[in-house]
Amino acid sequence: MTPSQLLPQTLAIARQAAEILHKVYQSKDYQQQLKADQTPVTSADYAAHDYLTKALAELAPEIPVLSEEDSDIPLSERSFWKRYWLVDPLDGTQEFIARSGDFATVIALVEEGIPVLGVVCAPESGDCYYACRGQGAYYQALDSVPEPIHTRQTRESLTIAVSRRQKLDLIKTRLKGDLEYQFVALGSSSLKSCAVAAGRVDAYLRVGPTGEWDTAAVQCIVEEAGGEILSLQQKPLTYNQRESLENPDFMVLAAKELAGILKSA
């Protein structure tokens, strides 16, 4: 099936995973622990992971699934994948634990190293963002008609999404000091990227560890909305090309020329 043929069922699967997370979040009945990299994981992450991997395998048995919660697959095996699902069952685990409500389920379909389908669903608001390559990007509120979204093309000042969990000074050290900025603190990485895609902010800078599952879906959404995702060295992100699945520091931009906000390396 083509990405556009897969999209309706992928969106339904993402919404169901979001509902699983919502029920656990509202019940407050979950366990948490630290992974080997010292980042938190909860039983909600694993519940969403179990559902997503099973549902996506039933949808398209020929397409392998790579999830953050089961990512220990060597490149020697992954390198043969021409097409695969890349999933973050719960993007924003720290936000889930902190009870901010700003977390999401994220699903991407990657073909030949390029994200061609992306879905992001936020359990607590019911908001979903999605795109297929070459077909535009959309936002859909719960029980509402989808609306096309576009990045902001005109601006009086620069509005930058930042993490609640990261020191603002760290971001400021990467920005040119002769420009005027406004900063908006938001939750999960995917929702900050979607804020760029939907034209609510101009950029999002991420300094610190992330995985390829944090960017694949939103790369499709942001690019279809008219934006760009690049490393802080202004190079394209790659998928399934290295043994490590860790991203470089990156920026999500409403327009490529906004890369000029960064200090020279």
Stated pTM of the model: 0.95
Question: What whole-number percentage of the chain has pLDDT above 70?
Answer: 99
Give the three-state DSSP class for 67.
Answer: strand
> For position 213, what pLDDT does the model report?
97
Are both 49 and 176 inside the same structural domain? no
225 & 106 share domain = no
Classify residue 148 as exposed, middle or buried by CB count within 10 Å of its CB (0-12, 13-18, 19+): exposed
pLDDT tens digits along 26-70? 999 999 999 888 889 999 999 999 999 999 999 999 999 999 999
Contacts of 27 (CB under 8 A, 6+ apart): none
| pLDDT score recorded for residue 265 | 56
Can you give the CATH number for the domain in which 32 is found?
3.30.540.10
* Mean pLDDT of the 141-154 span: 92
Task: List pLDDT tens digits, range 103-124.
Answer: 999 999 999 999 999 999 999 9
| 133 shares a domain with 178 | no
**Structurally, how many domains does the chain consist of?**
2
- pLDDT at 227 exceeding the cut of 60: yes
Q: How does strand 32-34 pair with strand 65-67?
A: unpaired
Clarify whether residues 14 and 130 are in a common domain. yes
Computed over every residue of the chain, the mean pLDDT equals 93
Domain that holds residue 174: 158-261
d(CA 79, CA 135): 28
- Does position 125 have pLDDT exceeding 90, yes or no? yes
Residue 79 and residue 18 share a domain = yes
Q: Same domain, yes or no, for 211 and 89? A: no
